[in-house]
Amino acid sequence: MQSKTSYFSKTIFFKNITHYWPIWAAYLLICLIRLPIRLFVSLGSDVGDAPDPAQVRLELLTNVVNTALQPFFLFLFACIAAVAVFSYLYQTRSSYMLHALPLCRESLFLTNVLSGLTFLVIPQVLAFLASIFVCFLRQMTQLDYLLHWLILSVGMALFAFSMAVFMVMITGSILAAPIFFLLGNYLFVILRGIIGFFVEALSYGVPSTEITFGTYLSPYYFWSQYFTGFFSSIFGMGYPEHTIEEVYPYMGFYAAVSLPLLLIAFVIYRKKHLETAGDIIAIGFLKPLFRWGLAFTLGSLITLVWYQNFAENSFVTASLPTLLAVMLLSGAVFFFLAEMILEKRFFVFSRKRGLECAGFLALCGLFLLGLSVDAFGVERRVPKEEEISSIIARQSYPIEVKEEDFSRILRIHQRLIQEKDEVEAYFEKYSQTARYVSLDLNYRLKNGDTLSRSYRIPAEDFYLGQEDYVYHEVEELFRTPEYYLQYHFSKDYASATFVDGSLELYDAQGNYDSVTFDQAQCREIYEAFLKDVLEGNYQIYDTSLSEHADGLLYANLLYLNYRVPQGSSYINYDGTAAVASSNELLSTMIQLTTDCRHTLEALKALNVLDESHQLITVRDFGLIQDGIRPDTVPAESASQSIP
């Protein structure tokens, strides 16, 4: 009778189910608590007094489902399941014993993989079915939300388990497997951050956040940090640019990668030597990668810590010799430390390893040298005008640059690059007393890429006296009236409808009070403020540059709440672009100046200001807080030019 090769063992499958039942039972309990039980409790809340009870119940449902999609427990149990079903590989005796059975490695691998996936998928399906029952019980019919949860959860379970199996195969240590799994989920963003640090330290004007691509290559980080917004928008709670059509391509990518990961893991399993049980790295050709990766990562982190704590001058690019010395020394130490971990002994120094370490250090040195001389063209890069989709610039406040001003920004950008040596020489000499303004440029290109730059521009009198100095061009741009209005009231400021507002007031003793405005009063104040802006009476000052600015700025802050049409773009105070949603209430804070005569007249006409409540300059308010009457101190000249 001809024998047949079986690729699945029922005995081992059911042994895994019964032997490791605490794993799938614990995950099932977590799934039940996070979805159907929370749904039952949330949907049972009394919402009878709400204006729209059905909408409130829908929001309760989406909140529960969105929380249930957080990936921590899924990735945790995927790792535990993979380590458990292949735990025999970590002990030489159990590994030889199991492989001595009349079972091919294909059968063992496939059976264990299906067992581990069962630990994850079956609890998800049971939680899904229980949630459907809860929804019917609570008279909720939006079951598509639960279906999204099941599809996305199963997809990520497949990927997380496949990745965990791959990590299990490349090591023979039960302790190393979960550590490698954790590192695999964060490795790319760690390396990206390290490279970003070196770019910022050695390149003029290039921030560490310049490198932003490839976040999805760190799966858990991407899932937890970015997918929450996507999921919220699926359920009607997020920003309009995040849609369900964007979510499933990412999920499809992760699911598609799962099969190659399992195939590679299977190939490694077939060729894996049983005597590698207990080894940190069980695959020979991966050992150099481990040495280089550990040395570069930890060496870079030591260099980063040193630079953050001991760098003499953060205003200029880092000193290459010093940075190189710290990096090469720490890199060499961690290179041989990695070899000690692999060999499980202290004496690992040999001619072969010495030459390998020298090659590693040479590449590190060339990389840092290349950044220092801008061999990669990073700091010299200025996009072409036809490549730009939008620009957000920030000096004393953020603006979304108009298309007709793109050429002005590019000209400023190019001049700042050309003046690098002079600027760095200034900060090298006056690092402790330097007076400067910061300029941040954030380009979004038509191909979807982004480019960010951050510069410090000296603002000493010597430079300000030069008519063609780049600072004057920056100030002229940021004092454009339309940018002031867009900053305070969005790009559709002409269509703003006001809701209410308030003004801070202080008496002669500095005691706080406030007055509120209705819709009509806000409109009057806005019209007066508009005149001041268009006439050049209003400015946003950088108070750090002038000792006289506090005599022009009022300590009283004016707040106006308004709405603009849906889809109107505006810039947040942190410089990020946003789009107004339907019926969204926006708010702006205005610090008036003594030159805003139209706004001051409007406030007087509204009987807001009287003898006991006047606007107080920042200078006078500071004196009152110190117990000094302002009229006893000679006022400094407020008419002097303020940068």
Per-residue pLDDT at 42 exceeds 80 = yes
Tens digits of residue pLDDT in 348-365: 899 999 999 999 999 999
Coil, strand, or helix at residue 49? coil
144 vs 414: which has the higher pLDDT: 414
Lowest mean pLDDT among 62-71, 241-250, 517-526, 629-638: 629-638
pTM of the model: 0.80
Tens digits of residue pLDDT in 49-72: 656 677 777 778 877 887 888 889
In this prediction, residues 599-610 reach a mean pLDDT of 87
Lowest mean pLDDT among 24-33, 207-216, 264-273: 207-216
Tens digits of residue pLDDT in 212-261: 788 888 999 888 876 554 444 444 444 334 455 567 888 889 999 999 99
In this prediction, residues 483-505 reach a mean pLDDT of 92
Domain edges within the chain: 10-184+212-282, 288-372, 385-478, 481-632
Q: Are 68 and 35 in contact (CB under 8 A)?
A: yes
Indicate the DSSP class of residue 37. Answer: I
Q: Categorize the per-residue pLDDT at 313 as very low, low, confident or very high, splitting at 50, 70 and 90.
A: low
At residue 162's C-alpha, the angle toward residues 156 and 163, to 5°, is 90
Give the model's pLDDT for residue 638.
Answer: 37
Give the model's pLDDT for residue 327.
Answer: 95
Mean per-residue pLDDT of the chain? 86
Structure tokens at 257: 């990668």
What percentage of the chain carries pLDDT values higher than 70? Answer: 89
Per-residue pLDDT at 530 exceeds 90 = yes
Coil, strand, or helix at residue 100? coil
Strand pairing partners for 451? Answer: 443
Integer Cα distance of 427 and 50 in angstroms: 60
Tens digits of residue pLDDT in 106-123: 888 999 999 999 999 999
Q: Which helix (H) or strand (E) holds 474?
A: helix 470-478
What percentage of the chain carries pLDDT values higher than 90? Answer: 52
Structure tokens at 255: 């699911």
Tens digits of residue pLDDT in 422-432: 998 888 888 77
Integer Cα distance of 601 and 594 in angstroms: 11
Give the model's pLDDT for residue 211.
Answer: 80
Tens digits of residue pLDDT in 134-159: 988 888 877 888 898 899 899 999 99
Give the model's pLDDT for residue 466.
Answer: 86
Give the model's pLDDT for residue 236.
Answer: 44
In this prediction, residues 462-480 reach a mean pLDDT of 89
In this prediction, residues 497-514 reach a mean pLDDT of 84
Tens digits of residue pLDDT in 390-409: 999 999 899 999 999 999 99
Per-residue pLDDT at 461 exceeds 70 = yes
Lowest mean pLDDT among 92-106, 315-329, 562-576: 92-106
Structure tokens at 379: 């700091």
Q: Are 379 and 458 in contact (CB under 8 A)?
A: no
Q: Categorize the per-residue pLDDT at 570 as very low, low, confident or very high, splitting at 50, 70 and 90.
A: confident
Q: Are 485 and 540 in contact (CB under 8 A)?
A: no
Per-residue pLDDT at 103 exceeds 90 = no
Specify burial of residue 593 (Cβ count, 10 A radius: 0-12, 13-18, 19+): buried
Integer Cα distance of 196 and 201 in angstroms: 9
- Give the residue among 435, 475, 73, 113 at the shortest CA–CA distance from 258: 113
Q: Which helix (H) or strand (E) holds 230?
A: helix 227-234
Give the model's pLDDT for residue 463.
Answer: 84
Lowest mean pLDDT among 43-52, 245-254, 264-273: 43-52
